Structure 1
Amino acid sequence: MKKLKISLVLPFPVTKPVGGASVMYQYANLLQSRGHVVSVFHSLKRPYKKSKTPLWYKQFVFWMRKAARPKWFALHPQVKCFIVPAIIDKYMPDADIVMSTWWQMAYAVNELSNAKGKKFNLVQDYETWNSDTTLLHQSYSLPVHHIVIAQYLQDLLMSYSGIQPVHIPNAIDTDRFSVQVLPQNRNTQSVIMLYSREKRKGTPYAMEAFHTLKKDFPDMLVTLFGVYPPPADLPVWIKYFQKPGDLPSLYNQSAIFLSPSLGEGWALPPAEAMACGCAVVCTQIGGHRDYAISNETAILVSPEKPAEIYDALKKLFTQPGLRIQMANRGREFMATHFSWEKSVSQLESCFYTALSE
């Protein structure tokens, strides 16, 4: 098969770990490893996004920070990275494929000339925050090839556009995220969670449940990690790791992973923790649905319900056999149902099909 020239488009330079960007970078690595020529373009301007910061100042700041190439993600050395003022013909090279992520960038890619490549957009979430929802929904009908990462997003786009997009699920690097400590050898009352200040991540509901649980289970230990500075007034029984260098080891030190999110695209941390042998408690939302099967691979709770989080964690604290069984089923499910090699093969197939049209 012909090796392709591929342009991947991100809505901004990514200076800290972000799930959607990591997926695009992962595809950049996999496609480059298969012999394609991959370039990543980070835009300083987005359609329908007003900015009070002058463009020249943004360019200077990101140049000073050397932000074109992410420091937090190990990109293939042959993947080229650029920061461009905007995604327009002037700044984009001719290519076989151009693929964006984030709804505003779909509008930008749609306006490119055909010489810039067959046009794709990877939909990684229901991106309603800070968005004009009318324009968001209209973006699903743009004449670009839409690909979604989760089943609920496939249903969503179909409901607005009348066209069923291709579903290519995310995956987990199981060489990196794997069991180092067997579930039965972990502290039964240990919980790990991603800490976030974003409202949609649901952190306050989990914290309320933790404080209630601590009264009934004084030996409980909680580990938080995230990109933000440590939250103020953390009790001594909650440890916090900012931008941890060895996340798989953190997962392996805990028995249970909690995700209290109100909304996700295809949540990576619960899936990573599942692959590392954690039993998972998570909210019943679309972004968990592809791998969190109720009472098989996870215990599902309603969003914004600390009492349900309390009950789920208590159940796993007091029934270690159930926790171990669920952890093993979850790890096996991740290993047999999700593969980056399979997903990138599906993506390549979409590219070649579009080029043959």
Structure 2
Amino acid sequence: MEAKITLLPGDGIGPEVVAEAEKVLAAIASKFGHTFATQSALAGGIAIDKTGNPLPEETLGMCLEGNAVLLGAVGGPKWSDPTAKVRPEQGLLKLRKSLGAFANIRPVRVFPALAEASPLKADRVENVDIVFVRELTGGIYFGTPQGRETVANGRSGHDTMRYNEMEIKRVLRVAFTLAQQRKAAGGQGKVTSVDKANVLASSRVWREVAHEVAAEYPDIGYEDVLVDAMAMYLINRPGDFDVVVTGNMFGDILSDEASMITGSLGMLPSASLGEAGSVGLYEPIHGSAPDIAGQGIANPLATILSTAMMLRSSLGLEAEAGVVETAVSQVLAAGHRTADIAKPGETKVGTQEMGDLVVANL
């Protein structure tokens, strides 16, 4: 097949890890006879420096005309002034909104070879395989009114959490469909909806609509869990969960917490998807890690696994995606480790070497 893929290397370690994913894409294209045309564009802090805009119109146009977008990372201390009118993260939010990417899919799977890397006991994380579905274009990050002002008591800021029935239904249906697919493959077949319905009116609407959607899927188990309880359950019984669906802010926090079950942010991919046929956005969840940028030690596996998600979800290449995931598993099983997942005394490999090892295993 032929596909056009827009690469947004971004800031910090973004260019380093995207380069390794590009090598994997080239290897898959060669192995399976595909043509992947890649085009790179500016996004994030580097785009602010060069154009004054974290998502230039040229970049957005390239993203919209392609089949998929692979993002490295955006942001860093250089652009972190909270009073700045233009910030890298604004570009990312605009991109998600422009793509209509309302569902963020974050798999949290513990590779057997890395069970000991988790800060939790190995027997607690064994066989953990969770998919977080985070609503991505609504909630408090996009609610209005929003802003800051100076009042009699000093500086004040306000944000609004708002969800409507349509936003809740569509992301719940993504979660239930995933649960059905996972059940067919031998998974639990359960959806956990996370909210704060005991306090927030928006969460009470969320729960009411979620129950209505759950009734459409009688073959799938369902439960409601309050967000504070979920934060505890992820630590003391992570193996109990299958598909977890929640709003934008709660999903942002909980999926980052869950990532540490695996031992490193450098292992977790993500996909941001909209309606069928729309352009998908794929990115590692680890951020720009400016403290290690340019040192050649960043873990590229989350970006490579994000590429596998892209092959599967945007390009319909299930076999190719599986080959990439198997290659990553084989590299880890052989004992190869980047600095973030290496135990004391283990030999460490760099970013490029890890990418080369995955390509060799393809």
TM-score in terms of structure 2 length: 0.28
Q: Report which of the two has the higher share of helix.
A: 2
Structure with the greater alpha carbon radius of gyration: 1
